[in-house]
Structure 1
Amino acid sequence: MTDPTERVRAAASARGLDVEIRERPAARNLAEAAGLLGLEPADIVKTLVVKRSDDTYLFALVPGDRSISWPKLRTVVGVNRLQLPDQQRALEATGYERGTIVPIGSTNDWPVFADTAIVGRRVAMGAGAHGFSLFVDADALISAYDAVVADISQPMDADA
């Protein structure tokens, strides 16, 4: 399969996860993407691949209107250091380019940590390829990936 959205569809199907993938115009930022989809930024979940000091990774799912709280995430994961990898390492860790990353169909089955704010919602997220958005029930995604649900985010303007 060369189409990354096909990899996402196949992986979702294998986990019994119902997803909808829609093509959309390119967006310069998350707020513009939300507008194109008729959503609020909080309805778009950012999937961030995060590197641990032992060169393993995890996925952090955070609402679009919030950012990772590094102290909270480190506490939940039980480590002292976490960082965002550079673009090449993120691609190697997931098989997806930044801006398209999603746990579904990742080339590695890294643990998933989901922010409590996404629970009970239908959300949009990356779909494995630029110009596409994936829609999924967040609770079904959390269940399919046995995600750890915790408060791991903060308002965008917080300094923590």
Structure 2
Amino acid sequence: MALEKLNIPHQIFQHITPVDSLEKAASDRGQRPSQIVRTILFRLSEDEFALVLVAGPGQISWKLLRKILGKSRITMATPEEVLDVTGYRIGTVGPFGLLKPVRVMVEAGVLKEDELSIGSGMRDTAVIIKSTDLMMGLGNVEVVELFE
């Protein structure tokens, strides 16, 4: 796993039953929904993508994201694009071990929690990690405000 190569402290959590919602994932892990980090891939142009980490169930502002990215039009990546760029299927995407280099942004709300859950690349499996360790592993990424 990419986190082990980076020597980043973390734990693996394996769900006993399939996860069908963010709320169930949080409950199973003994966490609040705000501790679950969604990793979302956006297509900026035909071959340009950006990865955004967002905590909890809230919806980011597309207007703010377009402004930060300097783009008038963006879309969410298709399942095929997500697999091609990250190497992971939708619902399992994490920010580590990506197949292709992409711009990574962390929504500021992610840093409000001490402990987080992120995608592991595998169904019904999550990575539990401290927010400080997440940021250490990500290195030089942008922290942005995406909620109005």
Is the shorter-chain TM-score for this pair beyond 0.5, marking a shared fold?
Answer: yes
Equivalent of 1:118 in 106, 110, 124 = 110
Residue in structure 1 matched with residue 9 of structure 2 by the alignment: 18
Q: Deviations over 1:101-159 (max 9, x none)?
A: 011111123121111111152100111000101111223322332110011135xxxxx
Q: Which runs of 5+ in 1 are unaligned?
A: 1-8, 155-160
Deviation at 1:18?
1.7
Aligned Cα root-mean-square deviation (Å):
1.5
Letter in 2 for 1:150: V
Give 1:29's aligned amino acid: S
1:140 counterpart = 2:116: no
Helix, strand or coil at the partner of 2:19: coil
Show structure 2 runs of 5+ residues with no match. none
CA distance in 1, matches of 2:46, 2:70: 13
Alignment CA distance shift 1:16-1:74 (3 Å): farther
Runs of 4+ in 1 over 3 A off after TM superposition: none
Q: Are 2:84 and 1:95 equivalent residues in the alignment?
A: no
CA distance in 2, matches of 1:138, 1:110: 20
Alignment of 1:58-137 (within 5 A): 58-120=50-112, 121-137=114-130
Identity between Structure 1 and Structure 2 (%): 24
Count of equivalent residues: 145
Kept after mapping to 2: 8 A contact 1:125/1:133: yes
Partner residue, 1:37? 29
Counterpart CA distance in 2 for 1:46 and 1:153 is 15
Counterpart code for 1:112: V
